[in-house]
Structure 1
Amino acid sequence: MTARAAPKGKRDWSLRSRAVRALLYQLLALTLIVLAVWFLAHNTFENMRVRGIRSGFDFLLQPAGFDIGELPIAYDALDPYWKAFLIGVLNTLRVAVIGIVLATLIGTLLGIGRFSHNAIVRGLCYGYVELFRNIPILLQLLMWYLLLTEWLPDPAEPLSAFGVFFLSKGGLNLPVPVWGTGHALTAGGLIVGAAAAWGYARWVRLRFERTGRPLPVAAPAVALMLGGALLGWLAGGSPNEWNLPKAGDVAVEGGSALTPEFISVLLGLTFYTAAFIAEVVRGGIQSVPGGQSEAAGALGLSRGQLMRLVVLPQALRVIIPPTTNQYLNLTKNSSLAVAIGYPDVVSISNTALNQTGRAVECIAIIMLVYLFTSLTTSGLMNWYNKRAAIKER
């Protein structure tokens, strides 16, 4: 005779329930915060009205009336302020995203290099970390900017590499393809190849967990991505037209140019943040018990396999949370780019503030931009942290 399951208890909605009291406390705290924000906003706008200070975001529809040096999209001085702010946000995202990728690569290599058997490699990695993380980021930005604008030759006599790359006080000029349908198909093929590479890597991991037989991942994944891009390139008619830079009498003409301001901000943020990420990686690796390395050595794994298959997967759960903080710091430190004239969202906001006098609105836009980017970065990293967490049985 089987025992009947006990009936589920009814939810207790009285104040004696801890869950109900916790919910009420949260609602009360949220209500107080909303009231405080409303009071501050109402008081601010009322004082501005009494003093005759105009307020509101209607200025975003008015012509901006100023030029911008870095233009990821088309822009004219007669365009409205909202488009100028959009360019500032895009410039901020451009330097932040590229900086996060480069800082992660450099920091990971430095962190792993701290455990090298070669004393010179260990010393260089240690020296890099101690040098760059102990110099304020603002001084590093100014240092790179002065190096690029004072020590490099004039744009009329640039440094040249292979006749297609030119470096001078005017920035870095490099060749770019003349965009067409074929390039769009190439990019699409690369995306398809990347998806196929991800599927292959997942299949290899599942096969390894099932059989214990490893298969190469890096080379086939690269081959799939390059193969997809090649097929897209062939399907698009094999476009091969390039816009090549050429040295002129006054400056380099043609191609694509990276300004000294962008290069300075990117180098400063990347090298500074990479030093902190290196320490995070080093601490994560050291958190893995030494017995794991001894067991991997007993199985005959090489040092590369030990690091890739045993140590790093376990160290990720320690590495990811503090690395998220470094990503947020890099994005917020990009606001210091205003010191060297890079037109990020802070620089555009300062110009708009000086022209319109809408201080509260411009500062609110800056706050919303950095709040959105920080929450997005945290959300993505939290999602990745859950996927990388070791599932315990």
Structure 2
Amino acid sequence: MNVHHAKAAEHAVDDDLLSARRRRNRIRYGATQFAVIAAAITLVVLFALAVKEGLARHGIRFSFSFLWDAAGFDLSEGKTFVFDGTFWLAFTEFTSERSIAQAFAAGIVNTTKVAVLAIVLSTMLGVLLGVSRLSTNWVARSLSFWCVEFVRNTPLLIQLVFWYFAVILHFPPIAAAAEFYGVVISQQGLFFPALVWKGEGSPVAIAMATACWVAILGLVFDKHRLVRRVCMGAIVVLPCLMLLTGIVELDFPVASKFRAKGGTGMSPEMAALLLAIVVNSASYIAEIVRGAIDALPKGQWEAAASLGLSRRDTVHDIILPQVFRVVLPSFGNQYISLTKNTALGIAVGYPELFNIYGTIANQTGHSLEGILIVMASYLILSWAISATVAWADRRLSKRGAM
């Protein structure tokens, strides 16, 4: 018994020593992290104080109060947020009477608009090019290869200038605009059909619109397959019913002598920027997809062929679901780069965030405050994209398939 008691006491002492060592390691780790954070905050504060003192010596006051002054300039396009007298925000066209803060908001809206459209379109085009790179059709494979190689090996700025001056500005004038399936193409921009809400005050219209939004949320967030299928069906059926009953009408643009009426438009500057970013980003996404497909075991192609699946069915049902789970983080990096590339819109006069900052800095002299707002805006947009991609990655990892 004495031997057993001695061993038990020895084990207890060892456990106490191990616990004490772990506690010391945790304290040391926490102290180190706290010291690093404190040092970083101290450096930032010292740098900010030094900058403020340097500006003060030159008679420049560091302040964000200029944001509430009237902008005093107009934008070629852009909407901003205004208070409508209640707690709600209204979305209206920017004018020179609006504040500088609202000018920044208009720039963020324009940047976000291009970024979202470019993310969707470049993903679709990039996946198509990436799959075509491995096609058995020689024409499709060669055409995809040379498109990707040409775009990836030329600067994006040069591509933007090409799309604007060599393509967009050579469209026909508005009086002789080309029409293609309801789309009006002219030097003044591109004009598309738009949905117009006609169900003001109608309980049926409000109920159908609410049901449509609930179906969209269910499709995105619900995990049950049956519920998702019901939501997908509702998303298809409800808009058709609203069109048939006149709750929503399709407004087609009509070109006149001086401008197009109806529908929704896209300025030539935005069209050029969107085309340049979509084509450029699609070439990089295509290489990501091609590399991921090449990394898959060749036995999967052979197994699918032995089961009698066509190459199209193999790509759609077997290859791409695995590829998307692998390439999603890489897509996220490309989306962030794409969003930051919207700043090149200044080269063609598109009023995105950085272009508007330049105008504000020239008029107010608050260039440091302005660039901090621009940097924070791009940082928030990048965080939003990263969070969305991480959320999608977690959902795909839990489900195990597309």
Q: Same fold per TM (> 0.5)?
A: yes
Quickly say closer, same or farther: Cα 1:296–1:19, change in 2 above 3 A.
farther
Structure 1 Cα separation of the partners of residues 55 and 218 of structure 2: 58
**1:66 is aligned to 2:73:** yes
- Which residue, 168, 171, 175 being the options, matches 1:152? 171
Q: Following TM superposition, by how much is the alpha carbon of 1:186 offset from its aligned partner in structure 2, in angstroms?
A: 5.9
TM-score normalised by length of structure 1: 0.85
**1:275 is aligned to 2:283:** yes
Which deviates more, 312-321 or 285-294? Answer: 312-321
Q: Percent identity?
A: 33
Which residue of the partner structure matches residue 142 of structure 2? 123
Please state whether the residue corresponding to 1:178 is helix, strand or coil. strand
Q: Following TM superposition, by how much is the alpha carbon of 1:240 offset from its aligned partner in structure 2, in angstroms?
A: 5.6
For structure 1, list consecutive stretches of 5 or more residues without a partner in the other structure: 1-5, 207-216
Contact 1:99 1:269 in 2 (8 A): yes
Quickly say closer, same or farther: Cα 1:147–1:265, change in 2 above 3 A.
same
Structure 1 counterpart of 2:34, which letter? L
Which residue of the partner structure matches residue 116 of structure 2? 97
**1:293 is aligned to 2:313:** no
Contact 1:185 1:232 in 2 (8 A): no
**1:362 is aligned to 2:370:** yes
Which residue of the partner structure matches residue 324 of structure 2? 316
Please state whether the residue corresponding to 2:191 is helix, strand or coil. strand
C-alpha distance after superposition, 1:118-141 (max 9, x if no partner)? 111111111111111111111111
Which residue of the partner structure matches residue 227 of structure 1? 237
Contact 1:328 1:377 in 2 (8 A): yes
Structure 2 counterpart of 1:59, which letter? F
Please state whether the residue corresponding to 2:257 is helix, strand or coil. coil
Q: Following TM superposition, by how much is the alpha carbon of 1:350 offset from its aligned partner in structure 2, in angstroms?
A: 0.7
Structure 2 Cα separation of the partners of residues 242 and 232 of structure 1: 11
Residues 258-273 of structure 1 mapped to structure 2, 5 A cutoff: 258-273=266-281
Contact 1:186 1:230 in 2 (8 A): no
Structure 1 counterpart of 2:373, which letter? I
Structure 2 Cα separation of the partners of residues 314 and 126 of structure 1: 23
Contact 1:144 1:267 in 2 (8 A): yes
Quickly say closer, same or farther: Cα 1:313–1:157, change in 2 above 3 A.
closer
Structure 2 counterpart of 1:252, which letter? A
**1:142 is aligned to 2:161:** yes
Please state whether the residue corresponding to 1:160 is helix, strand or coil. strand
Which residue of the partner structure matches residue 27 of structure 1? 34
Structure 2 counterpart of 1:386, which letter? R
Residues 1-393 of structure 1 mapped to structure 2, 5 A cutoff: 12=19, 17-72=24-79, 73-161=92-180, 164-181=182-199, 188-194=210-216, 202-203=224-225, 223-233=233-243, 237-239=245-247, 241=249, 243-389=251-397
Which deviates more, 190-199 or 126-135? Answer: 190-199
CA RMSD of aligned residues (A): 3.0
Structure 2 Cα separation of the partners of residues 85 and 189 of structure 1: 34
Aligned length: 371
Contact 2:243 2:249 in 1 (8 A): no
Q: Following TM superposition, by how much is the alpha carbon of 1:380 offset from its aligned partner in structure 2, in angstroms?
A: 1.6
Which deviates more, 123-132 or 363-372? Answer: 123-132
Q: Following TM superposition, by how much is the alpha carbon of 1:229 offset from its aligned partner in structure 2, in angstroms?
A: 2.0
Structure 1 or 2, whichever has the larger Rg, is: 2
Quickly say closer, same or farther: Cα 1:338–1:223, change in 2 above 3 A.
same
C-alpha distance after superposition, 1:122-174 (max 9, x if no partner)? 11111111111111111111111113453122223222335x43221111123
Structure 1 Cα separation of the partners of residues 241 and 169 of structure 2: 45
Please state whether the residue corresponding to 2:343 is helix, strand or coil. helix
Structure 2 Cα separation of the partners of residues 186 and 167 of structure 1: 34
Structure 1 counterpart of 2:157, which letter? L
C-alpha distance after superposition, 1:337-389 (max 9, x if no partner)? 11110101101111110010001100000100011111111122122223323
Structure 1 Cα separation of the partners of residues 208 and 339 of structure 2: 30
Structure 2 counterpart of 1:31, which letter? A
Structure 1 counterpart of 2:322, which letter? Q
Q: Following TM superposition, by how much is the alpha carbon of 1:75 offset from its aligned partner in structure 2, in angstroms?
A: 2.0
Contact 2:183 2:190 in 1 (8 A): yes
C-alpha distance after superposition, 1:174-232 (max 9, x if no partner)? 333433336876654443444565699952799xxxxxxxxxx8xx8864421132345
Structure 1 counterpart of 2:372, which letter? A
Structure 2 counterpart of 1:47, which letter? G
Contact 1:190 1:226 in 2 (8 A): no
Quickly say closer, same or farther: Cα 1:271–1:230, change in 2 above 3 A.
same
Please state whether the residue corresponding to 1:55 is helix, strand or coil. coil
Please state whether the residue corresponding to 1:389 is helix, strand or coil. helix
Structure 1 counterpart of 2:51, which letter? T
Which residue of the partner structure matches residue 210 of structure 1? none
